[in-house]
């Protein structure tokens, strides 16, 4: 038969009784673990984290009004600036001005720079709640240091580097863009000057054979040809007139050799002499007179051939009819010479204009090629000039911080508690572990204890009733042993408390 008392449920009073009997375990284990965690929390070198939050503000001016020459997305901008700011070159000045690790004398400046890089981190955060957010224009710059004030100072300098570097880099990028476009414009301008020089050389080479003179030259050719045709007709008329007057003059006697009769013509006198010689004897007076007249005319004719005439006219002539005819002949010859000179000059001009027209096709090809180059360069020049004006406007815009810029959203503060180790967490962890270890120790001790303290601890006695329960009575030895144990525990607590106090004070001294 089963003893009902052996299987009775364990009541809260049983647990309390076990704790009273085994009080030494909770009293020693829980404080010991708690003091150990407290010591660890303050003995481990703390790391204080200072944080500065920076916001990448977009431009307040629409892009269609002013288009900046510095283009990048927010993600690219943050990553780019972070990679260019957090470099040994930029951090060297911070290490030289502010020693972030004064207690570590064995670290070189380069090692301290690497330590700053290792202790720094950038995290995207929400610009309102400051909670981590993967896609955000705001980011928090964290820096860990054993001294909270130094942590705040270093992270403040790092944030300032971000702010100034971004503005300086954007301004420099805008200046470089404007400078690049200025060089392009100068290059195009130089090419335009060269093309203009080529045009001037072509103009000097071809002169009035240029294509823009073609219509004028063709009209001039037509006009010169018309003038030449008119002059040719006038020359023919003048030549006919000269021939007639020359023939008439050759048949006249320049001098009057007889008072009567017509003895001024050599042919007439010779005809009359022949007729008289046939009719009369050689000694006849008429024959002698005609012979003298013929000799006189022949002599006059010979002297005119030798040089006695001017322009075919005898200077000593006194025959009025002869002089009038000679004057008309002289005028005809002068007019003919003038017409011939005009015709020659017109032919020269006509040949010149025809030569210009013949050279025009070659000039047209040469000018067309150079003008095409100039038109293309002019378009490039106007485009480069427009882009340069936009770049200079963007440069002014960036210098005045009108574009995207980093703004300090939250200034770094001196941290009050370390980010590592987590002292509150360690204390709570020590409390939990202490209670757990004490409970396990009590349970093990109770399970190994064979003493009978209540009816449930009695062995199986069928249904034999229990007559009485004798309580535990401590004697003098028990009380003395208990006092010694409590005193030892109190002394241990005092020592542990002293060690923890010294550790906390040392940690506080390191903070200051």
**Under CATH, what is the fold of the domain 48-184+399-410?**
Bacterial polysaccharide co-polymerase-like (3.30.1890)
pLDDT one-digit tens code per residue, 211-268: 887 888 889 889 989 988 998 999 898 888 888 888 877 767 666 654 344 555 667 7
Res. 200 pLDDT band, cuts 50 70 90: confident
Q: How do residues 94-144 score in pLDDT, each as one tens digit?
A: 888 888 888 888 888 889 889 888 888 888 888 888 888 888 888 888 999
What is the mean predicted confidence (pLDDT) over 406-429? Answer: 81
Answer yes or no: are the C-beta atoms of 459 and 50 closer than 8 Å: no
Q: Which two tokens stand for residue 408?
A: 């300090």
Most confident of 138-147, 294-303, 353-362: 138-147
Identify which of 64, 55, 95, 355 has the alpha carbon closest to the alpha carbon of residue 206: 355
Q: Given a cut of 80, is residue 436 above it in pLDDT?
A: yes
Q: What percent of the chain has pLDDT over 90?
A: 3
pLDDT for 427: 76
Between CA 70 and CA 206 the distance in angstroms is 50
Asked which of 158-172, 316-330, 489-503 is least confident by mean pLDDT, the reply is 489-503
**pLDDT computed for residue 259 by the predictor:** 37
Of the candidates 68, 48, 47, the one whose C-alpha atom is nearest the C-alpha of residue 58 is: 68
> Hey, where are the domains in the chain?
4-44+421-511, 48-184+399-410, 211-380
3-state secondary structure of 131: coil
Backbone angles phi, psi at 175, to 5 degrees: -65, -40
Q: Quick one: which of 330, 288, 279, 328 has its CA closest to 309?
A: 330
Q: What is the pTM of this model?
A: 0.48
More confident residue, 69 or 330: 330
Asked if pLDDT for residue 400 goes beyond 60, the answer is no
Which pLDDT value is given to residue 415?
87
Report d(CA 423, CA 503) in Å as an integer: 13
Asked which of 131-140, 292-301, 321-330 is least confident by mean pLDDT, the reply is: 292-301
């Amino acid at each position: 038969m089963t003893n009902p008392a052996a299987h009775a449920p364990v009541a809260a009073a049983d647990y309390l009784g076990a704790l009273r009997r085994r009080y030494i375990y909770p009293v020693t284990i829980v404080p010991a673990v708690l003091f150990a965690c407290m010591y660890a929390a303050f003995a481990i070198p703390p790391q204080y984290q200072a944080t500065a939050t920076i916001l990448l503000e977009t431009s307040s001016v629409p892009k269609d009004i002013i288009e900046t020459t510095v283009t990048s997305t927010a993600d690219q901008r943050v990553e780019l600036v972070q990679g260019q700011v957090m470099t040994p070159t930029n951090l060297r000045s911070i290490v030289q001005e502010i020693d972030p690790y004064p207690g570590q004398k064995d670290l070189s400046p380069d090692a301290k720079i690497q330590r700053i890089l290792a202790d720094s981190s950038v995290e995207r955060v929400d610009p309102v709640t400051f909670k981590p957010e993967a896609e955000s224009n705001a980011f928090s710059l964290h820096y860990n240091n054993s001294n909270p004030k130094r942590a705040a100072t270093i992270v403040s300098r790092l944030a300032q580097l971000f702010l100034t570097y971004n503005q300086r880099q954007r301004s420099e990028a805008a200046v470089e863009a404007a400078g690049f476009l200025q060089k392009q414009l100068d290059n195009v301008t130089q090419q335009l000057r060269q093309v203009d020089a080529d045009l001037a050389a072509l103009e000097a080479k071809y002169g009035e054979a240029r294509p823009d003179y073609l219509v004028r030259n063709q009209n001039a050719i037509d006009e010169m040809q018309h003038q030449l045709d008119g002059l040719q007709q006038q020359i023919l008329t003048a030549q006919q007139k000269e021939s007639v007057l020359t023939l008439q003059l050759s048949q006249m006697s320049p001098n009057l050799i007889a008072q009567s009769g017509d003895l001024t013509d050599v042919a007439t006198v010779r005809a009359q002499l022949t007729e008289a010689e046939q009719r009369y004897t050689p000694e006849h007076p008429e024959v002698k007179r005609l012979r003298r007249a013929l000799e006189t005319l022949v002599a006059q004719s010979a002297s005119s051939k030798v040089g006695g005439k001017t322009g075919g006219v005898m200077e000593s002539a006194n025959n009025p009819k002869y002089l009038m005819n000679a004057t008309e002949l002289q005028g005809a010859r002068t007019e003919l010479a003038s017409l011939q000179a005009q015709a020659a000059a017109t032919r020269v001009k006509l040949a010149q204009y025809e030569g210009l027209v013949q050279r025009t096709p070659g000039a047209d090809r040469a000018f067309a090629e150079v003008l095409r180059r100039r038109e293309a360069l002019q378009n490039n020049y106007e485009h480069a000039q427009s882009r340069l004006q936009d770049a200079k406007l963007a440069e002014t815009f960036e210098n005045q911080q009108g574009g995207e810029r980093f703004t300090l959203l939250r200034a770094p503060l001196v941290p009050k508690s370390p980010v590592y180790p987590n002292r509150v967490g360690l204390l709570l962890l020590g409390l939990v572990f202490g209670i757990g270890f004490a409970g396990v120790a009590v349970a093990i001790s109770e399970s190994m204890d064979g003493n009978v303290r209540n009816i449930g601890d009695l062995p199986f006695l069928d249904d034999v009733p229990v007559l009485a329960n004798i309580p535990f009575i401590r004697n003098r030895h028990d009380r003395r042993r208990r006092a010694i144990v409590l005193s030892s525990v109190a002394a241990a607590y005092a020592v542990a408390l002293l060690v923890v106090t010294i550790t906390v004070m040392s940690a506080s001294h390191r903070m200051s």
